[in-house]
């Protein structure tokens, strides 16, 4: 076991990437403990204990609780990405840029960054108003100016650092930042569960149920994340000169959860908007209807997950283009006519798989609320939910990148046979 982990540092490039990622994580965690000037930390701690914005606090690794430099996290960047993903499908100019390859995507990324700055400023103003309204703070113009500049700069820095992790480190930088923020809250949640058990707040059998359910849910998430349907493709023989090409079979892999954790992250990010707006405007009645765990909140959560599951798939996977490429390569699906019939066949299979994936994501997202209602302990949010799904999904993607570096240099897989990641040793 230790020899396999030691092999991670035997590859110079992989060692450099891992150390860069670890260094970035240290910087992120340090930034969450540097508070914005002019804020009473004791008051902010009490504010969080009251339950306001506790959900957002979990996804910033406690930064919102301390009202630190990274209190906004990468939520503005995620929201900006959602906006431009939607606009790309309806604005011809953006769609044309996306089809221009690397240069076009670079321009869209640039637009997304500018939108991130704008959204960060709006959210910084909102959070500053919330803090000012909740506590007796001398909210001068200087307080607003320093707070808005500090929070916006923190988000821009996280966005930049996430891109650097993607380029020079291991895994997707933005997703990794979210995962680290979530993991930093796990010890506190486990301590809460222990206190609930020892103090008799919940029944003792919930301790065993927690362990069993946690292992079962993680195993189920891993299976669904790696599950795929392989559509067989047969290539006809072609003679060019004295050589014969084709005549072999292959397959088109379609993953059950093709969009990964993207729908959950997008849905979570969008749901932060009404919560923040209701708090700023003081609409307590609307806030109560849309409170975390309420029927309206859960219904919107599920609908957004379904929407982004299908929407994201329509952006990254076009059955018509796939069918065209298969036909041009001299391939066909056995029993299906090439061209339009093949596209319809792939669309039919993809639709059913997306339905399974959306149902799975929705079930995982709603499960913690059900367990919370049954047990009475908020620690049950560790079982399933957005946080665990993101941790498992990002963890698998990161591990797959590490496996790729090891296999390219003929090192042994971290897993026993590589089967977990779809590679047989």
Residue 235 has, within 13 A of its CA and on its CB side, a CA count of 17
**Span 163-192, pLDDT tens digits:** 899 888 888 888 888 888 888 878 887 888
DSSP readout, 358-378? HHHHHHHHHHHHHHHHHH--G
DSSP readout, 97-137? HHTTTHHHHHHHHHHHHHHHHHHHHHHHHHHHHHHHHHS--
**DSSP conformation class of 35:** B
The share of the chain scoring above pLDDT 70, in percent, equals 82
Distances (CA, A) of 116 to 13, 20, 97, 107, 160: 32, 25, 19, 14, 11
- Nearest-angstrom CA–CA distance, 127 and 250: 54
Distances (CA, A) of 227 to 171, 221, 396: 20, 10, 13
* Mean pLDDT rounded to a whole number for the chain: 79
Residue showing tokens 């930088």: 173
Cβ neighbours of residue 13 closer than 8 Å, sequence gap 6 or more: 405
Helix extents (H) in 290-339: 295-316, 319-328
pTM across the whole model: 0.73
Give yes or no for residue 108 having a pLDDT over 70.
yes
With H, G, I as helix, E, B as strand and everything else as coil, classify residue 231: strand
- Confidence at 26, pLDDT banded by 50, 70, 90: very high
Which class for 363: exposed (0-12), middle (13-18), buried (19 or more C-beta within 10 A)? Answer: middle
Residue showing tokens 């927690």: 210
**Residue 257, token pair as written in the block:** 């959860």
b/e sequence 26-36, b meaning 16+ C-beta within 10 Å? eebbebbeebb
Cβ neighbours of residue 288 closer than 8 Å, sequence gap 6 or more: 294
b/e sequence 70-107, b meaning 16+ C-beta within 10 Å? bbbbbbbbbbbbbebbeebeeeeebeebbeeeeeeeee
The share of the chain scoring above pLDDT 90, in percent, equals 8
Return the minimum-mean-pLDDT range out of 17-21, 165-169, 201-205, 349-353: 201-205
DSSP H/E element including 239: strand 238-240
pLDDT at 410: 57
- Nearest-angstrom CA–CA distance, 184 and 182: 5
- Confidence at 3, pLDDT banded by 50, 70, 90: low
Give yes or no for residue 383 having a pLDDT over 60.
yes
With H, G, I as helix, E, B as strand and everything else as coil, classify residue 253: strand
């Amino acid at each position: 076991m230790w020899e396999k982990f030691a092999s991670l540092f035997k590859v110079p490039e992989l060692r450099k990437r891992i150390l860069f990622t670890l260094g970035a994580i240290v910087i992120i965690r340090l930034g969450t403990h540097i508070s914005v000037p002019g804020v009473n930390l004791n008051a902010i701690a009490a504010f969080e204990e009251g339950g306001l914005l506790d959900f957002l606090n979990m996804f910033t690794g406690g930064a919102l609780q301390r009202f630190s430099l990274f209190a906004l996290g990468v939520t503005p960047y995620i929201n900006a990405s959602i906006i431009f993903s939607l606009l790309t499908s309806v604005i011809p100019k953006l769609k044309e840029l996306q089809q221009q390859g690397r240069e076009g995507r670079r321009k869209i990324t640039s637009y997304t960054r500018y939108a991130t700055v704008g959204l960060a400023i709006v959210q910084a103003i909102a959070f500053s108003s919330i803090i000012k309204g909740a506590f007796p703070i001398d909210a001068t113009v200087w307080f607003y100016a320093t707070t808005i500049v500090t929070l916006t700069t923190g988000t821009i820095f996280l966005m930049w650092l996430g891109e650097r992790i993607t380029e020079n480190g291991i895994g997707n930088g933005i997703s990794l930042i979210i995962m680290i923020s979530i993991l930093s809250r796990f010890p506190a949640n486990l301590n809460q569960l222990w206190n609930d058990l020892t103090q008799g707040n919940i029944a003792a059998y919930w301790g065993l149920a927690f362990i069993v359910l946690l292992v079962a849910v993680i195993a189920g998430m891993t299976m669904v994340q790696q599950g795929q349907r392989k559509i067989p493709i047969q290539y006809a023989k072609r003679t060019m000169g004295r050589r014969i090409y084709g005549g072999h079979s292959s397959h088109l892999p379609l993953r059950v959860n093709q969009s990964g954790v993207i729908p959950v992250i997008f849905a979570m990010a969008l749901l932060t908007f009404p919560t923040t707006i209701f708090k700023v405007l003081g609409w307590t009645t609307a806030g109560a209807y849309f409170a975390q765990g309420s029927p309206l909140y859960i219904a919107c959560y599920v609908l957004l997950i379904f929407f982004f599951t299908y929407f994201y798939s329509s952006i990254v996977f076009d059955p018509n283009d796939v069918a065209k490429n298969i036909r041009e390569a001299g391939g066909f699906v056995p029993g299906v006519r090439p061209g339009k019939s093949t596209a319809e066949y792939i669309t039919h299979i993809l639709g059913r798989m997306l339905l399974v994936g959306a149902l799975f994501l929705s079930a995982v997202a709603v499960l913690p609320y059900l367990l919370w209602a049954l047990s009475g302990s908020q620690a049950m949010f560790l079982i399933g939910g957005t946080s665990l799904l993101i941790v498992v999904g990002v963890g698998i993607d990161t591990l797959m990148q590490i496996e790729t570096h090891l296999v390219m240099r003929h090192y042994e897989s971290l897993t026993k046979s590589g089967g977990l990641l779809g590679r047989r040793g």
